[in-house]
Amino acid sequence: MEPKEFLSQYRRAVTDIENLETEAEELENMAMGITVSTEGDRVQTSGKKDRMAELAAKAADIRIDIMGKRTEALEAMHRVSRLIAGMENNRYRKLLHMRYIKGATWEEIAVTMHYSIKHIYKLHGWALREIRNELKEETKCDKKRAYNDSVDE
């Protein structure tokens, strides 16, 4: 996996959650907007109750999906945070944390770190190179572990 792809896992999961929450809210609002009219003793629903129930069920399904996505997001955040925290360079750690955990813009990072955006881009490139090396090492260790496990069996 490429460094940016790895580091972006958490923010991607957060965006997915936000999109699902918006979709669930829209469905719930649509369900609440459906009214059943009554005229005298006769109730005229013409399928409105069914449509309301259908929309509410879809919203509930999305809410369940959101719970699963929240778990995925937390796991992704822990993986990304652990990798970032293991970096020796404080500037790399701060930049990557702000960008990939907090979701800060390049401009916000530059202002906070008191660097030009051009320098932030350079730092980011150097940090990604270090992350790439770390991910390669993890992959080698995982392969070695898998090999040893298969030999032990």
pLDDT (tens digit per residue) in 15-65? 999 999 999 999 988 888 865 555 555 555 556 778 888 988 999 999 999
Specify the DSSP class assigned to residue 39.
E
Q: What's 102's domain CATH number?
A: 1.10.10.10
Shared domain check, 139 and 74: no
Could you tell me if 133 and 148 lie in one domain? yes
Is residue 36 domain-shared with residue 72, that is, in the same domain? yes
Q: What is the pLDDT of residues 61-88, one digit of tens each?
A: 999 999 999 999 999 999 999 999 999 9
User: How many domains are there within the chain?
Assistant: 2
> Contact 10/77 with Cβ under 8 angstroms?
yes
3-state secondary structure of 83: helix
pTM confidence score: 0.73
Residues spanned by the domain of 9: 1-85
- 36 lies in the same domain as 98: no
- Out of 47, 69, 85, a domain closes at 85
Last residue of a domain, one of 85, 101, 116: 85
